[in-house]
Chain A
Amino acid sequence: MKFLKHAIIILSFIFFNQIMYSKELGVKQKDLKNGLKILVVENSAVPLVTVEICVKNGAFTEPPEYSGLSHLYEHMFFKANEKLPNQEAFLERGRELGVEWNGTTGNERVNYFFTCPKTNLEEAIEYMRDATMYPLFDQTELEKERSVVIGEYDRAESQPPYHLFVAVNKKTWGDNYNRKNAIGERSTILAATREQMKTIQKKFYIPNNSSLLIAGDVKAEEVFKLAEKYFGQWEKGEDPFIKNPPVTFKPLEKPETIILEKDFPIVVGIINFHGPDTKRDITGTHAADVFAYIINQKTSNFQKALVESGLMVGLNFGYQTEHNVGPIMVVFQAMPDKLKEAVKALSAEIEKFDSPDYYTDEQLETAKNILAVEEIYGRESTSNWIHTVSYWWASAGLHYYENYIKDLKKVTRKDVSDFVRKYIKGSNYVIGVLISEENVKTLDLKETDLLLGTSEFEKKGK
């Protein structure tokens, strides 16, 4: 992968100033001298333009003393900068431009986006430039914003399933939980300083760690000129991942179980596995997506055995593509009296995941087709789809996304079996359930009741 990264840098140097066009994606690209990637989607369906800055930042870059600070930085982005003295002025300028704005922070990406009438394209790029390159991190604003972020925390913690999500993730990622916890830790957020914001800026908010995406009723040539005009002076920085490469997640040593007792009328269950990633196992990431879309089909054996049978009221097998260990997450809801039976049935299904007759050829092809057509649906809204493009750019590289549908079509039964055997069947996992204290007593539920018995660890133990 390191080799690949260097290869990309060299290629971009060779083709400097050449415009590349991905026919599959309909994205026109250009790299500025300073390393900033410009991605343009031309779509004149409505007279709007979306301007987005995407940065490879987020939980994966955060040591414990920075846990949640990528997110706090995201909030500070919409505040004072050298051109606009405070958030009131920032918001006022946004209103003048007719901007709808927002930002998100995830494990491997932070992005900011403005959507406005196309007539304000240049002003919106300038507005984005000022927020990106010249933030002030005003001390008073920082102190105020901490409470707002804590308010986000409070809202999450007001919902019982969130506590289960946290408990399961803590066990899944162990000592490196903070690298998968974008909202971060309360204490770190409350103690955040300007200096820390500046450190994040210096390390990650550099053109060679960012992309500028512009989508809507625009012409790429004009956008490239404007990008050069406003972002051409952005100073290149040191590759943040040479000195501090992404951490290595320790594999789970054994199956882990959690019974989280909270007042809740049904049972919610989460099972996590460490899955493939785009750094080490690209075929595995494709197989994971295809497998998820096979077994989430209503007529799949998985859904029939667990939902259509009435054991569960909801069930989803999910996989999140990431650069460094993508999580596999099975989420289910069940009525309390059916929990024990449901867990046993789930275990039996996992044992069958790699058997040749677990799914039909038709279901395999249908899964690939669903993924392809979902892409068509996703592209209907350009202002939204641009966020998908930036996600893939950050977590997989644009090349991955360009070939995504083509590569999915190549996924074979063997790829799927390899994926199942490498990451699920035989692998350690974390299973947690959210259930009321009363139901725990009624069922006489013990942590051992949640063991799936599907890991090598358990099988050897037997």
Chain B
Amino acid sequence: MSTTPTPPQAFSTSEPGEATGAPPAGPRKKEGRVARKASRSRERLSSPGASITAVLIAVLWTVPTFGLFVTSFRPSADIRRDGWWNVWNVFANPTFTLDNYTNAISGSTSLGTYFVNSIAITIPAVVIPISIALLAAYAFAWIDFRGRNVLFVAVFALQIVPIQITMIPLLSQYVDWGLAGSFWTVWLSHSIFALPLAIFLLHNFMKDIPQSLIEAARVDGAGHVKIFFHVLMPLLVPAIAAFAIFQFLWVWNDLLVALVFAPGPNVRPLTVFIAELAGTRGQTWHLLSADAFISMIIPVIVFLSLQRYFVRGLLAGSVKG
């Protein structure tokens, strides 16, 4: 994830399926010989040079993670003695152990609490902005009121405000209200920072739903509440999923917001704990490696299983705007 919570155009599409739609170059039955030949030679773009480039980049992008992953299963004495690549040297009698993980989970520097904190921070920080944004997006898209366009442009423009510029005044406000040191500071901050993008994205999706559908429901006597839940919600699932994944990954992986608003041991999430461990005990690789991978499990699972939605969200916005 990037440091920006919200690359301003991360998504905001008109046609949800379009960007990832079927490749336009699918082989057609009626294609003549020339065309078929052309598409075949297109596949041959994977010349030796291209293959080598692909493999080289893939290896460069995988080896760092893989190295730390292997290390997380090595005894701490081995980690201090030599590098992880020596596990392939059968003569050195390589050994593997789960000690690092059991230590990380139940040892003296256990991360159990912080793992729970991460979950406690992330779920409300995803649900709150979506609820508020759905409401606002519905009003912006389907309720006519004075000043609607001006307000919507203002919300859109707020996406460019870097979160850094809001932090000190927000923090002193939280202190005045007696919220400092509770989860509320992180929940509120993450929700506020996510709103402009969430409203913008959901509004664009709602706007795309055919007017006739809403009108028909209205003629049948449905009010705003009914239209919202029975007509719009089912159609909005992909948009909500795309934003929810984006926000989930951002909050789970965030360091800055948590470091500023939730540094205390009762509320700090995994990222703050691991960053501090890296700062104070940067050489304890048996701890760091296991901790790092435990913190990555959930985002990687979410990412791999819901990749389709995430990629769709990214694509829809970034290419189209």
Whether chains A and B associate is: no
Measuring CB to CB, which residues of chain A are less than 8 angstroms from any residue of chain B? none
Measuring CB to CB, which residues of chain B are less than 8 angstroms from any residue of chain A? none
